[in-house]
């Protein structure tokens, strides 16, 4: 049920084609946007749809910053993964709920109003299922409810330790499923779906899902609706192994063996040839980009200009949560391109286009598509997920509709998201989440036990 007024007005409201001045809209009892001429409550100068976060591993929030000391060998994604495995081994349902709730509060305060949770921490540390096999998934669902963020839960199929089909290692066993147990999990979780919870599916990666298993899962009833996500082409080593053992690059192989369409989100897709870039763009699938994590892990840089020119859809995610800010993800998406090309304003492909508007609009559309929800645009029937910028901030002083989004993304690091609404309810007011003290205190206790 929406809080207080069900009609609102904004001096400027971001629509799909830019800012609308003196806009009004309503919110119905289900928290959906309606059309109204009533003036209602004033929200201020700058109102935007909330940003979908299309890629999250919630438990990794509590280890952010713990893998930044140089190791004895060359540090890479693979050495970082060893730290992650050690940390993951200590986490059970109670801990994952406490960590995820804290993370989701931080997401809301930053302007994310929807999260796609790529969830592979399924079982007990030795690989034995919990008495309730979906216990870890339910902990994430409850964390999202506590925080007030909408959730696309993506249970992950994880079966093998490499392209050669090797068995899962000891620290990977808690991730693993057979095809049959995985489909049972999906069937159970679909029963929990609601207006603010959708269950999709995720294939961890080509190296973790054998071809026969992928075919079986994609042919199942569970794959007939909802989003499908996969990690792909994140690391050069992954590309080389795929070439050696499957005779094709990861994205090339996937398109040859699966009907990739707009329901798919290819997470990272960092290392693409020109032909793969065009093929991904033309498929209508979303490239799920996580620039701060990709930079932190030394992954590489996505071919943004060529992908945008080909009409590709993209969204952003905070992934390992070394940063929880759509501003920073989009800023570093652009800055990575500037460093690689030694040119400015790369994301804006036509003269006069705004980089901020180009990136924010693209990430809203792609994030909504990857989440499977009607979000990312404040139109009739869509979920009323919005953020209100702090018009009193010096960073926005004298800014008008031509410059406010560029200033939001590129003018500094002062938080500018003042209020946040999800499903018609205020979750953040004047920079504070409605339950942040309790959730933060529990998070502190939990992390103290883990570490």
Evaluate whether 291 touches 363 at the Cβ level (below 8 Å): no
- pLDDT bucket at 5, cuts 50 / 70 / 90: low
Q: What is the DSSP letter of 175?
A: G
Per-residue pLDDT for 4 more than 60?
no
Spell out the CATH class of 53-371: alpha beta
Domain boundary assignment for the chain: 6-49+378-436, 53-371
> Residue-wise over 407-445: b if at least 16 C-beta within 10 A, else e?
bbbebeeebbbbbbbbbbbbbbeeeebbebeebbebbee
- pLDDT bucket at 12, cuts 50 / 70 / 90: very high
How high is the pLDDT of residue 77? 80
Token output for 359: 């990136």
Residues 396-418: what's their mean pLDDT?
A: 96
CA 59/CA 52 separation, integer angstroms? 19
How high is the pLDDT of residue 2? 63
Token output for 315: 């969204």
> Residue written as tokens 């409810």?
145
- pLDDT bucket at 84, cuts 50 / 70 / 90: confident
Same fold, 6-49+378-436 and 53-371: no
Identify the CATH homologous superfamily for domain 6-49+378-436: Urease, subunit C, domain 1 (2.30.40.10)
CA torsion sign for 87, 90, 92, 95 is negative
- The larger pLDDT score, comparing residue 70 to residue 203, is at 203
Evaluate whether 232 touches 268 at the Cβ level (below 8 Å): yes
- Active-site positions? 268, 319
171-225 pLDDT, tens per residue? 999 999 999 999 999 999 999 999 999 999 999 999 999 999 999 999 999 999 8
Show the beta-strand stretches assigned E in 159-282. Answer: 197-199, 201-203, 228-232, 264-268
Evaluate whether 255 touches 222 at the Cβ level (below 8 Å): no
Token output for 298: 């030394």
Q: What is the DSSP letter of 169?
A: P
Does the global pTM surpass 0.85? Answer: yes
Evaluate whether 209 touches 199 at the Cβ level (below 8 Å): no
Instruction: Give the residues across from 46 on adjacent strands.
Output: 12
Q: Cβ–Cβ contacts within 10 Å for residue 392, how many?
A: 10
Residues 242-248: what's their mean pLDDT?
A: 97
Q: Which residue, 320, 399, 319, is CA-closest to 357?
A: 399
3-state secondary structure of 429: strand
Show the beta-strand stretches assigned E in 258-385. Answer: 264-268, 286-289, 313-316
Evaluate whether 41 touches 5 at the Cβ level (below 8 Å): yes
Angle of CA points 94, 100, 106, to nearest 5° = 145
How high is the pLDDT of residue 70? 86
Q: Which residue, 150, 148, 112, is CA-closest to 330?
A: 112
């Amino acid at each position: 049920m929406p809080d207080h007024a069900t009609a609102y007005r904004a001096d400027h409201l971001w629509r799909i084609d830019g800012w609308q001045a003196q806009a009004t809209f309503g919110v119905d009892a289900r928290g959906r946007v309606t059309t109204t001429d009533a003036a209602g409550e004033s929200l201020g100068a700058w109102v935007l749809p909330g940003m979908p976060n299309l890629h999250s591993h919630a438990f990794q929030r509590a280890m952010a910053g713990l893998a930044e000391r140089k190791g004895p060998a060359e540090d890479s994604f693979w050495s970082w993964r060893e730290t992650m495995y050690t940390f993951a081994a200590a986490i059970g349902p109670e801990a994952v709920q406490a960590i995820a709730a804290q993370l989701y509060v931080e997401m809301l305060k930053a302007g994310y109003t929807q999260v796609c949770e790529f969830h592979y921490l399924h079982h007990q540390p030795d690989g034995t299922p919990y008495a309730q096999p979906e216990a870890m998934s339910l902990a994430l669902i409850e964390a999202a409810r506590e925080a007030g963020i909408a959730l696309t839960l993506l249970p992950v199929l994880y079966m093998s330790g490499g392209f050669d089909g090797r068995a899962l290692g000891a620290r990977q066993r808690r991730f693993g499923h057979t095809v049959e147990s995985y489909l049972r999990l999906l069937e159970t979780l679909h029963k929990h779906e609601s207006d603010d919870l959708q269950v999709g599916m995720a294939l961890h990666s080509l190296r973790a899902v054998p071809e026969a298993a992928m075919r079986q899962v994609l042919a199942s009833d569970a794959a007939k609706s909802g989003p499908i996500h996969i990690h792909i082409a994140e690391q050069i080593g992954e590309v080389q192994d795929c070439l050696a053992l499957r005779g094709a690059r990861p994205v090339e192989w996937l398109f040859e063996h699966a009907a990739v369409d707009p329901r798919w989100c290819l997470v990272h897709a960092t290392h693409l040839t020109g032909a793969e870039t065009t093929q991904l763009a033309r498929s209508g699938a979303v490239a799920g980009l996580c620039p701060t994590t990709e930079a932190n892990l030394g992954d590489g840089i996505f071919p943004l200009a060529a992908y945008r020119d080909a009409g590709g859809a993209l969204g952003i995610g905070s992934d390992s949560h070394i940063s929880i800010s759509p501003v920073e993800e989009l800023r570093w998406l652009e800055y990575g391109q500037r460093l690689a090309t030694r040119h400015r304003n790369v994301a804006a492909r036509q003269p006069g286009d705004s980089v901020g508007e180009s990136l924010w609009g693209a990430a809203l559309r792609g994030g909504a598509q990857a989440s499977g929800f009607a979000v990312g645009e404040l139109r009739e029937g869509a979920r009323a997920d919005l953020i209100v910028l702090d018009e009193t901030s010096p960073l926005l002083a004298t800014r008008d509709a031509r410059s406010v989004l560029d200033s939001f993304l590129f003018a500094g690091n002062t938080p500018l998201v003042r209020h946040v609404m999800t499903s018609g309810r205020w979750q953040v007011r004047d920079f504070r989440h409605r339950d942040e003290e309790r959730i933060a205190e529990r998070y502190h206790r939990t992390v103290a036990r883990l570490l």
